[in-house]
A and B are shown apart, each in its own frame.
Chain A
Amino acid sequence: MSDLYTINKSPFEKNSLDSALKFSKAGTAVLLYEDAVYAAVKGTAVEEQIKAAMGDKKVYALGPDLAARGIAEDRVIDGVELVDYTGFVDLVEANDKVQAWV
């Protein structure tokens, strides 16, 4: 049993990333999309939180939403996997449940 958590808000605007990670279990897949892609950028205040989460969880970011915000792929934290919308669909299929953290 695995869950996909989707997060759509910047961690500098809302605490949905905090909440999602707090309630997540080992093996949870976390997808950052819309403004949540800012959490995937290197050198921010949440970089360590994302790196810690990757210890037992998989973190993904939606590539088109990074591109829409002018964030080049080389600015993304190492280990965060980029997916497109088809990859988003694959994540939904690969996990048993999808929980949107708003």
Chain B
Amino acid sequence: MKLAVQVNEGPYQHQASDSAYMFTKAALEKGHEVFRVFFYHDGVNNGTRMTTPPQDDRHVVNRWVELAEKYDLDLVICVAAAQRRGIVDEGEAERNGKDGTNIADKFRISGLGQLIEAAIQCDRTVVFGD
């Protein structure tokens, strides 16, 4: 089965990013294809490499990165949601005159069309968050 996953909530605030991660990991371990994980609304905060949780807490961002490295996942952050919340890659920094970037490795910033394409391409779209 080909899956699209949508994450609408930030880490450490709502259980959605944990649920989405656990679901995605279970699907991959069962041999399903996860075509794309799309981070929308506050979900874009899952993609900043500046996150530094206490050492005895889960690292929500790095956990996504490690899963993406292992399974070659496409982690896409919504550009409009990212601009509002200050999630910046090199292209966005240049376009908007910012003095740095904070996007985590394996994440990329793109548009809502990526969510629609994923929904069209996939057998199921599973939405996490409010």
Contact = CB atoms under 8 A, between A and B. Distances in A.
B30 A86 contact: yes
Contacts of A93: 1, 32, 124
B125 interface: yes
B86 interface: no
B22 interface: yes
A89 B127 contact: no
Q: Is the interface of B mostly helix, strand, loop or mixed?
A: mixed
B23 interface: yes
A100 B124 CA distance: 12
Interface in B1-24: 1, 3, 15-16, 19, 22-23
A88 B23 contact: yes
B126 A98 contact: yes
Given A92-B1, A102-B130, A85 B26 contact: yes
Contact of A92 (B3, B22, B25): B3
Interface in B88-130: 124-130
